[in-house]
Structure 1
Amino acid sequence: MYRRPRRRRVLAALPALMVGALLSPAATASASPAAPVSPAGPAAPEPAARIDLVLDLSGSMNENDAGGQTRLAAAKQAVTRIIDTAPGQAPLGLRVYGATYPGQDKKRGCADTQQVLPVTPMDGAARADAKQRVAGFKAVGFTPIGVSLREAAKDLGTSGRRRIVLVSDGEDTCAPPPPCDVARELKAQGVDLAVDVVGFRTPSSARAQLKCIADVTDGSYADADDADSLTADLGTLFRKGWRTYRATGKPVEGSLNGCQDAPLVAPGQYLDKFTGGRNLYYKVKKRPDQRLQVSATAVAEEGYGRGAIITVAAGPAGDGEPRAWLREFDQSMGWANIITTGGRSRPGAGNESPAPDDTGCIMVENDITDSGDKPMPVELLVGIADKTTQAAGARTPAPRTGAEAEGGFSFNSATPIGPGTHRQSIAVGEAPFWRVEVKAGQKLTVKGGVDIPADFPNSVTTGWNVTVYNAMREETLCNEDNDVTELFAGRTGHIERVCGPWEITAPDDTKSPDSKGYDVPGTYYIQAQVAEPHDEAKGIVVPISLTVDISGAPRSGNGPVFFFGDDAAQGPAPSGATGNGAESGSAKQDGAGDTAGAAAKDDGSLVGGLALPVGIGAGVLLLGGITFYALRRRGTA
C-alpha cells in the first residue's frame, strides 16, 4: 500500500545558493553541441506488450451464478469488451481450454487446448474475426491449466514484453503438470513473461493454486463474481500491458545513503526505483553560470493514496540535505498512477563560490512508499541551460492533427498538438498525454470534454479530470476555483472542464507574481481521464475532445533553453503505437576529464557555499466536492 505522509508539511522560505557546476556537452570549450531538445521521448517507441488471453471453457462455466447469467455468458461479455477496446496496434491472442471435448477420457480432455486467435495487432479484420469466434464459444470439457500455460508461452514467442492473462473458475483437473510448477518453469527460463490471473467465481480450494501462478511470475491476481467485475478486472490487466504509464530511461541506481557514494548523472533521462521509504541521491555537475532542471516522476501500477508526496531538490552537498539550487514538491491529489514534480535553478548573479570540482547533489525524497512495499519506478530527467544551449535553440516536433493526434501514455510519448480541437475515444481508466509549445507572453487555455452515456455507473467521487503540467513536469493549477475534478454528480451527456486562460510568464516576471505554475515557458503537457471511476465503468469507451487555444504574441527573452542529452527524442511514437516510451536521453559528456556514461562514480568532495535568501511560496489547493487537498511548493531557488 502506498502511504499517506506521516505529517503535513507547510514549508517556510529557504535560502537559495547558486554555486557548483555541471559540465554539459554544450559547455565544453572545444565541442560543438548538439541542438538542445525538449524532453519529448524517444523517436523509436518500445513495442506494446504481447498478450495472450487464456480462457477457461470447462463444463463448470455453464453454471448460472454470474449475476443472473451463466459464467460463460459473462466471460463472453468481458472478452468482447477487451477486443473492442484494444488499441489498433496492440498484439492480442486468444487461447481456450475445455472447449471441444465433452467426454470422460482424461487423456483426450487434458489435451483440449487450442489457440483460437494468434497473437496479432487488433486491426479491423482481426477484431471482427475475434468477436465472431468468441460468440461461438461453448463450455464442455476438462480444466488443463498447466498444459495451456505452456502452450500460451509458445504463442507469445521468445522476445519482447509478454503477458498471459488467465481466466479460470476452478482448479486444474489434469495435473500433472501442476499449474504452479509450470509457472515456476516459465519464470526460470528468464524471459520477460508474467501471468496475471482472474479467479472467476473461484472456490477457496482453487484460489491458492491460481494465486500461486500469479505470485511466482510477478503477475497480479484478482477475484471476480459477475460480468461487471470480470470486465473491470480484465480491463485493468490489459491496460497495464498496453495503455498505462510505462516509466523509461537509462537505468541508474541512486545512492540510498546520501551524496557521498552517489552516481554521477549528466543531462538525460534515467530510470530508478523507490524501495521502502528510502530517498535517492545522485551527483551532478553545474557551473555557476549554468542552470539546472531536475524532474522526478514516480509511477505506480495502481492509483496513489491521497496525500502521497514526492520532493526533488538539488544543491551543494554539505552537512544537510541538498536544496540550495532548487527544491519543489507535489502532493498527490487523487486517482492517478503518477505523481510528478520538477524544478529549475536560478541563473547565477556572478558572485557565487563554486562547489569543489563543480559537483553538487540531487535528492529525490520518497514520501510515497513504506518499507516492504513493492519497488516503484522513478523517472529522473536532468537538463542544463547556458549561453551555448540558448544560441542553439530548441528542437520541437511538428504538431499532429486528426487520427495522428491520439494521445500517448507518458511524458515521453505525449503527442504534439497545436491550437484547435482534437477528438478521439478512450477507455475509462486510461490517462493519455498531449504536449503543446508555449512562450512567454502567450495565454494558454485547455478545454477537455467527455460524453458520458446515460447508463454510466459512477460513484460520488467520479469526475472528468484535465491536468496541465508545465515544462518542469510539475502540475499546474487548472482554474481559479481550485477544482481538481469536474464531478459528474449523476450527470450524463457532454461534460467539460476548462483550464485557463493562463498567461505564460518567466520566473522573474513581476507582471504575474501568482502564476500557479505557468511561469516556465516551453513544453506543457496535458493529461485527460475519467477520475475515480466505479469499478463497473472501467473499460467503457467514451468519446472525448481536447481544445487548445494559444493566444497573444510571444515576448522577447523567452528564458533558458535546456539540453536533456544527445539522444533525447524528437517526439512521441507514430500513430498506432501504444505510447509506451523507450529509453530517453544519453549520458554522454564531451568535456576533457569528464566521465562518459550516466552513472559513473565521482569521488570529489562536496561542500557548501554562500547562501542567498529567496522566498518560496506554499499554497493549499481545495478540491471541489472531494474531501482532500494538495500542498504545492513553488521552488524559486
Structure 2
Amino acid sequence: MTQHSTPPDHHSPARLLRTLLGAAVALLMFSTAAPAAQAQLGTPGVPLNSQEEGARDTPEDEDPSGDDGDDVDPGADNAPEPEYEDAELLLVMDASGSMNAEDAGGQTRIAAAKDALTDVANSLEDHQEVGLRIFSGEVTDSSVPEACEDSHLAVEIGTDNREELTGAIDDYEAVGAMTPIAYALERAAEDFSGEGSRTIVLVSDGEENCNPDPCEAAQALMEQGIDLQIHTVGFNIDEQDSDSAAARSQLQCIAEAGGGDYYDATDAETLTVVLERLSLRAFEPFQLEGEEVEGATEIHGELPELHSEGQYLDTIHPEGRYYSIPRTIEDSTIHVGLVTLRDLDSERAFTHITARLGTPDWNGDHHGACESVYLTETSQARAALLRAGGMTSVPDPGGIHEDCGSTDELILNVTLEEDDEAYEGKPYEIVVWEEPPAENAEELAEGASGPIRDYEWFDMSPDPENAAEVLGGNSFNNAVALEPGSTYAGTALLGESQVFRVPVEWGEQLQVEVVFPEEPDISSPGHIGGSDLQVISPYRADVVPNPHQANHNYAYYGINFGSGGPQTAQVQTYPVLYGNRRPNNFTREEIGNSAVAGDYFVVVNVGAHSDPNTAALLPFYLHVETFSADTAGEVVPVYAETDSAEDQEDCSARDQEDGCAPPTEDGASEDEEPAAEDSREEEDQQPAPASEPDTPAEETEEEPVAAEQTGVFSGTTGLLLGLVALGLLLLAGGGIILARALRRS
C-alpha cells in the first residue's frame, strides 16, 4: 500500500502568516537601510556635484595615489609641483688682466667679482636655469688671433647646478690679454636652448678692443627674433678716465640695443646687489606684458577692439594710436590704465604722453574728449621708472557729457604730445576693466569730499627691528605682495624703482610710510635726483598725483637726500568707496582714483646721481597699514547681472536652433535647467580686478541636492515604511501564535 504524503497547502492560514512575517521583516530591514544608502549618495544640503567631484571609492588595500603607499606621508602636502617661468639666465663675466686692479673697496676687481658671483649662485633656486660664460680668461698673448676669440662656456645652462657654478667661480682668474665682448655675446646666444625668455647679464670693466662692434652685435642678436634681454654692468669704471668713459658708453649702448638696463657697480657689495637683482628679474615677467595689438593711426575707420579684463601691448607712434572699447553692460563704468617706461635717453624731464577717451563721433582733439590723463613721471623730477595713468568713464545721467557714460563704444587715443624721438617705438601696456553698476547704489555711503589734508592720519606702529626682508618688483606685473600691518626692510640702488602691492578692501584707507634711516655714504648726496613715494590704483591711476599740494603734518615734498639725516615719506589714500568715482575727471582729482577695491601698488622711487660713476645702497623700512573709515551707509557694492545687450535681446526674434530660448520669470530659459554650476561659471566670467565682496546673493537658485526631502529615500517616507513594517510584523507574529494554539487544541 502506497502511502501518499499530503501536499502543502499554500493557502493555509499558517503559511500565509509566515509569508506575511517574512515580508514585514524584509520591509523593516529595507526602511532601516534606506537612510544609510541616502548618506552614501549625498550629505543632506550638500550639492551632489560637489561630492561627485571630490570622491571616488577606493579599496582599502589600494593607495589612491597609485603608489604602494610605503613612502606616503598622510600629513604631507601632495599638491603638484608649481609651474615655473620658462626662463634661462647666462652670466657673462670679464676675465681680462685689468680685473686684477683694485676696486673702490680695496680688493681686486676679480676677487670682488668672485665674491658677488658666489653669493648669486648660493641664492639661486634649484629650478632656475643658469649658466656661466667667461671671456678673456685663457689667452695671455694679445698678438695671436685666438685672443679675440677667447671665450668659453664654463657652466652649461641648467637647473640645480650650484656646485658646478661655485667650482667654476673658484677657477675664475683674470689673465686675458684682450676684451672680446662682441665675440662673447655671439657665442652666448648659442648657449640657450628651446624657447622662452632669455637673459644675458654681462659684466666688464673695459671696452671692446677686438672687432666687431659689440653694440652692433647686440642689435644683430635682437633682430634674430629671440625673446632676449641683455643687461650690462660697468664695474668700477672711472668717470674721469676717457677710456673708462668710452667703456661705459659702449656698455650702455649694448644694454639699450639688447632691450636691457645698464648698471654701475663700484665694489663687491654693490656688484652683488646688482647681480642678485638682475638674476631675480630674469625669472620674473617682463616689465610690460600683454596681448600684442596695433592701434590705428587714424580715428576714422576700423579700430582694434580692447575688451574688459584684457591687457594689451602696443608701441608709441608719432601720429598717435586709436582703439575701440565696447561697453557691453548698461550703466557700467569703464576703467582704462596705461603704463610705459621712462626713457633714459630722453632730453626732456617731462615728455607728455597723453591718453584720452571719447565717444564714436569724437574727432580726437583735446576739447571734445570725455577723459584725459598724462602718463606722468610724477611731480618729483625723473625718479619714477614707470610712467602710469588711469581714466574712468562713469555714467553721468543729466550731466554735461552724459553721452560719455552711456555710449556703447569708447574711443581710446594714445598720443606723444612732443616731438621726442626717444619715445617713438617704445612699448606701452593697456589694461581695461568694465565694472558693472551697483544694484545697491542708493544704500552705499557717499563718496569722499574735501582735500586729503582734512582726513585724520592714523597712528601706525612700524617695527623695524622685526622687519621682514623684501625686494620689490620692477613693474606692476611682478609687484611683490605686502601684508597690511607689517614692516619690511629693503635696500634701493640709485636710479631704481621698486613696486609692491597691498590689498585694500571697500571702505578702507591705505597708509604707507617709507623711511631711509641713514644718510647715503657718498659724496654730494644732494646730487641724487628727486626721489619719492607713489600709490597707484588697480587700474594704474596715481592715487595722489600732486602730493605737494597736501598741506598737513604728514605731507611731503619728495625725498631730499641732500638735506641730511633720515628721510621719511608718507602717503594716505581716501577711503575706497564706490561713490568716489567722478565723471569727466580732467582735473585729475585724486578722490576719483580711490573708487575700486583691490590691489593698490606702492612704488618707491630713488633718483640717480648726477655722476653716473656713483653707486650706493640705500637701506629703507617700508610700513603699510589699512584702516576702516567711519562712513555712513554700506560700503560694498552688489554688482548687477552682467548679461550683454545682445544676450538681453528678445529670443523670439532669433533662430531657436542657435540655442536661444525666451527667459522665464526666474531668469532661466525654458530649455535650460537652473543650475548653481552655471551661475558659478557666470560669476567666474565677471571682471574683477577688485576683491570679491562678501555679500549674500539675492534670489539665487538652489543647487540640486541629494534626495532627502522627496523620493523613496526621503526621511518621511522611510519612517512611514518602518511603521507599516512594524505593524505587519506584530500582526504576523500574533497570527502565528494563534494558529499554533488552535492546532494544539
- What TM bracket, shorter-length normalisation? 0.5 to 0.7
Query: In the TM superposition, what is the alpha-carbon distance from 1:420 to its structure 2 partner?
Result: 0.8
**Structure 2 residue aligned with 1:500:** 572
1:377 and 2:434 are equivalent in the alignment: no
Any idea what the Cα deviations from partners look like across 1:84-104, whole Å, max 9, x if unmatched?
A: 579755755432223245468
Cα gap change, 1:135/1:526 in structure 2, threshold over 3 Å: closer, same or farther?
farther
- Residue in structure 2 matching 1:315, options 341, 348, 358: 358
Query: In the TM superposition, what is the alpha-carbon distance from 1:240 to its structure 2 partner?
Result: 7.3
1:337 and 2:373 are equivalent in the alignment: no
Cα gap change, 1:413/1:276 in structure 2, threshold over 3 Å: closer, same or farther?
same
- Residue in structure 1 matching 2:606, options 517, 524, 531: 531
Let me know the Cα RMSD of the aligned residues: 5.2
Cα pair 1:58 1:140 within 8 Å, conserved: yes
What pairs up with 1:69-468 in 2 under 5 angstroms?
73-74=108-109, 76-77=111-112, 80-81=115-116, 84=119, 88=124, 92-102=130-140, 106=144, 112-119=150-157, 129=166, 133=169, 137-166=173-202, 167=204, 169-172=206-209, 186-187=221-222, 189-196=224-231, 203=243, 214=254, 218=258, 246-286=287-327, 289-300=331-342, 302=344, 305-321=348-364, 325-329=370-374, 331-332=376-377, 333=379, 334=381, 335-349=383-397, 358-367=408-417, 370-371=420-421, 373-387=423-437, 407-428=472-493, 429-440=496-507, 442-452=508-518, 455-456=521-522, 458-462=525-529, 465-468=532-535
Amino acid aligned to 1:498: Q
Cα pair 1:120 1:126 within 8 Å, conserved: no
Cα distance in 2 for partners of 1:421, 1:551 equals 17
Query: In the TM superposition, what is the alpha-carbon distance from 1:381 to its structure 2 partner?
Result: 1.3
Cα distance in 1 for partners of 2:437, 2:143 equals 79
Query: In the TM superposition, what is the alpha-carbon distance from 1:468 to its structure 2 partner?
Result: 1.0
Secondary structure of 2:556's aligned partner: coil
Cα distance in 1 for partners of 2:251, 2:207 equals 12
Cα distance in 1 for partners of 2:352, 2:499 equals 22
- Residue in structure 1 matching 2:634, options 551, 556, 566: 556
Cα distance in 1 for partners of 2:206, 2:187 equals 19
Cα distance in 1 for partners of 2:475, 2:422 equals 27
Cα pair 1:197 1:219 within 8 Å, conserved: no
Any idea what the Cα deviations from partners look like across 1:284-312, whole Å, max 9, x if unmatched?
A: 22265222111122223549753333433
Cα distance in 2 for partners of 1:208, 1:418 equals 40
Query: In the TM superposition, what is the alpha-carbon distance from 1:143 to its structure 2 partner?
Result: 4.2
Query: In the TM superposition, what is the alpha-carbon distance from 1:436 to its structure 2 partner?
Result: 1.9
Cα pair 1:291 1:385 within 8 Å, conserved: yes
Secondary structure of 1:264's aligned partner: coil
TM-score, normalisation: structure 1:
0.63
Any idea what the Cα deviations from partners look like across 1:475-528, whole Å, max 9, x if unmatched?
A: 1225724535222235355x4322226433444699xx9765554131252324
Cα pair 2:476 2:601 within 8 Å, conserved: no
Query: In the TM superposition, what is the alpha-carbon distance from 1:211 to its structure 2 partner?
Result: 7.2
Cα pair 1:97 1:114 within 8 Å, conserved: yes
Secondary structure of 1:214's aligned partner: helix
Cα distance in 1 for partners of 2:498, 2:306 equals 30
Cα pair 1:471 1:524 within 8 Å, conserved: yes
Cα gap change, 1:328/1:155 in structure 2, threshold over 3 Å: closer, same or farther?
same
Cα distance in 1 for partners of 2:374, 2:104 equals 46
TM-score, normalisation: structure 2:
0.55
Cα gap change, 1:309/1:349 in structure 2, threshold over 3 Å: closer, same or farther?
same
Cα gap change, 1:589/1:277 in structure 2, threshold over 3 Å: closer, same or farther?
farther
Secondary structure of 2:189's aligned partner: helix
Any idea what the Cα deviations from partners look like across 1:569-590, whole Å, max 9, x if unmatched?
A: xxxxxxxxxxxxxxxxxxx999
Amino acid aligned to 1:504: V
Cα distance in 2 for partners of 1:185, 1:313 equals 37
Query: In the TM superposition, what is the alpha-carbon distance from 1:74 to its structure 2 partner?
Result: 3.4
Amino acid aligned to 1:421: S
Any idea what the Cα deviations from partners look like across 1:3-42, whole Å, max 9, x if unmatched?
A: xxxxxxxxxxxxxxxxxxxxxxxxxxxxxxxxxxxxxxxx
1:545 and 2:622 are equivalent in the alignment: yes
Cα pair 1:232 1:537 within 8 Å, conserved: no
Cα gap change, 1:61/1:445 in structure 2, threshold over 3 Å: closer, same or farther?
closer
Cα distance in 2 for partners of 1:346, 1:363 equals 18
1:474 and 2:474 are equivalent in the alignment: no
Cα distance in 1 for partners of 2:497, 2:298 equals 37
Amino acid aligned to 2:342: A
Secondary structure of 2:89's aligned partner: strand
Cα pair 2:118 2:166 within 8 Å, conserved: no
What pairs up with 1:17-56 in 2 under 5 angstroms?
47=85, 50-56=88-94
Cα distance in 2 for partners of 1:202, 1:562 equals 67
Q: Which runs of 5+ in 1 are unaligned?
A: 1-43, 392-400, 567-587, 594-637
Cα gap change, 1:447/1:422 in structure 2, threshold over 3 Å: closer, same or farther?
same
Amino acid aligned to 1:309: H
Cα distance in 2 for partners of 1:95, 1:426 equals 28
Query: In the TM superposition, what is the alpha-carbon distance from 1:557 to its structure 2 partner?
Result: 4.6
Secondary structure of 2:600's aligned partner: strand
Secondary structure of 1:489's aligned partner: helix
Amino acid aligned to 2:575: E
Cα distance in 2 for partners of 1:403, 1:590 equals 51
Amino acid aligned to 1:291: T
Q: Which runs of 5+ in 2 are unaligned?
A: 1-81, 442-465, 650-745
Cα pair 1:298 1:377 within 8 Å, conserved: yes
Higher strand share: 1
Any idea what the Cα deviations from partners look like across 1:174-222, whole Å, max 9, x if unmatched?
A: x6x8867865774564322354556767849996996799399545697
Structure whose CA Rg is larger: 2
Cα pair 2:324 2:410 within 8 Å, conserved: yes
Cα pair 1:446 1:499 within 8 Å, conserved: yes
Amino acid aligned to 1:74: R
Amino acid aligned to 1:327: S
Cα distance in 2 for partners of 1:538, 1:316 equals 49
Query: In the TM superposition, what is the alpha-carbon distance from 1:118 to its structure 2 partner?
Result: 4.7
Cα distance in 2 for partners of 1:325, 1:557 equals 27
1:485 and 2:530 are equivalent in the alignment: no
Cα distance in 1 for partners of 2:93, 2:483 equals 44
Cα pair 1:149 1:182 within 8 Å, conserved: yes
Query: In the TM superposition, what is the alpha-carbon distance from 1:268 to its structure 2 partner?
Result: 2.7
Segment drifting more, 464-473 vs 537-546: 537-546
The count of corresponding residues between Structure 1 and Structure 2 is 508
Query: In the TM superposition, what is the alpha-carbon distance from 1:416 to its structure 2 partner?
Result: 4.1
Cα distance in 2 for partners of 1:491, 1:413 equals 33
Segment drifting more, 495-504 vs 200-209: 200-209
